[in-house]
């Protein structure tokens, strides 16, 4: 089983924790029958991905899995909808609520994703609320989700959808409307397991 981590900028080919890094422009060559999942970073060229929509739709429809990070502006996969900026005034408007359990986020506390701080190591939540900056996980949302989507997290008191997945043919698509999920897989947050669980999901081992 192979999981591709597709970036916009060229990188040396390497495998890190179960994910093989590739240049997104090499996707048509790299996405062969051995690939089970594709992780798209938030800075990928969506105009290029739109050109590759037949490839991506076919890959997922036959059983593959795709993780989409960032702000979707081009519907490069069937079922995607455009990202919308959230009108927020305070950290309360950006707090995560877990609506449904999902294997990628299993065992993580939604509160652990809210704040970022330059302080090294674990920091109690009360201290994070005092010195941290909220909103790095996500400041926008998605409307018009596919009818059979599984909503994972919402933002704030408006319950704006930010994380969801949905079936497409025999495969699945997971959408995260914020900074790359891998940035949040850290020991300091108590969320290191997020990376392992994300790779397992892309390998098709967890639903």
Q: Does domain 2-202 have CATH number 3.40.190.10?
A: no
Residue 109, pLDDT score: 93
Residue 8, pLDDT score: 55
For residues 105 and 109, give the distance between their C-alpha atoms in angstroms, rounded to a whole number: 8
- CA 29-24-52 angle, 5° bins: 70
Digits of tens for pLDDT over the chain (207 positions)? 578 788 655 555 666 677 899 999 999 999 999 999 999 999 899 999 999 999 999 999 999 999 999 999 999 999 999 999 988 888 888 899 999 999 999 999 999 898 767 667 776 767 666 656 677 898 899 999 999 999 999 999 999 999 999 999 999 999 999 999 999 999 888 899 999 999 999 999 988
Residue 200, pLDDT score: 95
Residue 88, pLDDT score: 84
**C-beta of residue 19 within 8 angstroms of C-beta of residue 5:** yes
Assessment of whether the complete model's pTM goes beyond 0.75? yes
For residues 91 and 114, give the distance between their C-alpha atoms in angstroms, rounded to a whole number: 8
**C-beta of residue 61 within 8 angstroms of C-beta of residue 175:** no
C-alpha dihedral, 80 to 107 to 160 to 51, nearest 10°: -20
Residue 117, pLDDT score: 72
Residue 72, pLDDT score: 97
């Amino acid at each position: 089983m192979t999981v591709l981590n597709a970036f916009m900028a060229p990188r040396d080919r390497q495998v890190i924790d179960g994910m093989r890094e590739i240049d997104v422009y090499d996707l048509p060559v790299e996405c062969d029958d051995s690939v089970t999942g594709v992780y798209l970073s938030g800075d990928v060229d969506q105009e290029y991905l739109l050109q590759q929509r037949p490839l991506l739709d076919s890959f997922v429809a036959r059983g593959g899995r795709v993780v989409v990070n960032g702000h979707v502006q081009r519907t490069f996969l069937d079922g995607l909808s455009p990202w919308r900026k959230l009108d927020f005034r305070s950290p309360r408007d950006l707090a995560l609520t877990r609506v449904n359990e999902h294997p990628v986020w299993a065992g993580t506390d939604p509160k652990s994703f809210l704040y970022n701080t330059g302080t090294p190591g674990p920091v109690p939540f009360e201290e994070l609320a005092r010195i941290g900056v909220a909103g790095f996980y996500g400041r926008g949302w998605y409307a018009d989700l596919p009818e059979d989507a599984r909503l994972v997290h919402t933002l704030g008191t408006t319950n704006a959808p930010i994380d969801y997945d949905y079936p497409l043919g025999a495969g699945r698509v997971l959408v995260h409307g914020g900074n790359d999920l891998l940035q949040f897989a850290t020991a300091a947050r108590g969320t290191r397991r997020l990376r392992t669980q994300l790779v397992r999901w892309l390998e098709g081992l967890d639903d």
